[in-house]
A = this chain, B = another copy of it.
Amino acid sequence: MHGAGDVRVEDVPDPTILQPTDAVVRVVRACVCGSDLHPYRSMAAAAHGSAMGHEFLGVVEAVGASVVTVMPGDFVISPFAYQDNTCAFCRDGFQTSCVHGGFYGHGDVGGGQAELVRVPQADGTLVQPGIALADADEAMLASLLTLSDVFLTGHHAAHMGGVAPGRTVTVIGDGAVGLSAVLASKRLGAERIILMGRHTSRTDLGVELGATDVVPERGAEGVERVLDLTGGEGSHVVLEAVGHMPAYEQAYGVVRPGGSISRVGVPQYEDAPVGFGSLFGKNVVLSGGPAPVRAYIEDVLPDVLSGRINPGRVFDRTVALDDIAAGYQAMDAREALKVMVVI
């Protein structure tokens, strides 16, 4: 990406093994993330472009001398962040805070919207899904690809928010993360799932994925609708998958006393209400952050492999790598919910 709206496919030198803990992966499927749209809308024109993409499936091409869990030829999923998966924070299940971790497209680590990518900390990062690439059909590839970020980001929201059987969950946002949060909440046994969103094609998919109610209204009107739907009590859990202040305000408006708000939309604000009139007065718990995807893959994989859940349904468009600029454009214009890149 060279600036707002300026996505180019360029030839760059192939990545190589720089550290004994590295792998190089040949990418098979990648995708465009809602978070990629932030620079797509606002990045200042730059002399050198930024490598993009952090969600991918691929086949290991080469490994460093100390890598023991994967070898060339292995089909792998990469979480959107890399990690050693052994440090104190990784052991706590917060791999996005790994002391040896980092993010694709930063420093000397390239992006996943590419033919080849260097994966640092390969042993801690790459996961073999338990199915051969040749045996995975398109729908399975799509679902496996969501374990790189989008579905497990929705799952992280639900997990941190305490979604459990008997709970009423309100999901704010009908983007791919919001719909993933709906599916994750259903998988965790939520009794009722209220989806706040106003794009009918998306909320229709949300209903198929598990939403029991759809609230298209926003702001005070939306809050009132959710309170009405919950007998005036509010929602046990609110999953905020947008990241803008109006969504946060809706969240504390609809949450039940003693309930929780879990955020996975990257906050586009630093300060927000947390005092007596918002969170404190009704003992609301606020959680969330960058999803430690690595912590959840093994738990969720069996449900994907068995077809019990199909998180890949959030993909509604496929482009070739050469056409990825059209993919960005379609997501930016909301013509596509989430775009897969075939490489």
Chain A residues close to B by CB (< 8 Å): 88-89, 92-94, 96-97, 160, 233, 256-258, 263, 266-267, 269-290, 292
Contact = CB atoms under 8 A, between A and B. Distances in A.
A281 B286 contact: no
Contacts of A96: 283
Given A89-B256, A263-B280, 15 more contacts: A89-B233, A89-B258, A94-B283, A160-B283, A270-B273, A270-B274, A271-B271, A271-B273, A271-B275, A272-B275, A279-B289, A280-B288, A282-B289, A283-B287, A283-B288
B257 A94 contact: yes
Nearest to A269: B275
A233 B88 contact: yes
Contact of A258 (B94, B271, B284): B94
Contacts of A256: 89, 92
Given A97-B258, A267-B275, A285 B283 contact: no
What are the 8 tightest A-B residue pairs by CB atom distance, in nearest-first order? A283-B289, A97-B257, A94-B258, A270-B275, A267-B275, A286-B286, A285-B287, A271-B271
Nearest to A96: B283
Nearest to A280: B289
Contacts of A97: 257-258, 282-283
Contact of A285 (B275, B280, B286): B286
Nearest to A286: B286
15 contacts: A89-B233, A92-B256, A93-B258, A160-B285, A267-B275, A267-B280, A269-B275, A270-B273, A280-B288, A281-B289, A283-B288, A283-B292, A285-B286, A286-B286, A286-B287
A272 B279 CA distance: 11
Contacts of A271: 271-275
A267 B276 contact: yes
Contacts of A269: 275
A157 to B, nearest CB: 11
A276 B270 contact: yes
A40 B128 CA distance: 64
A216 B96 CA distance: 32
A273 to B, nearest CB: 5
Contacts of A270: 273-278
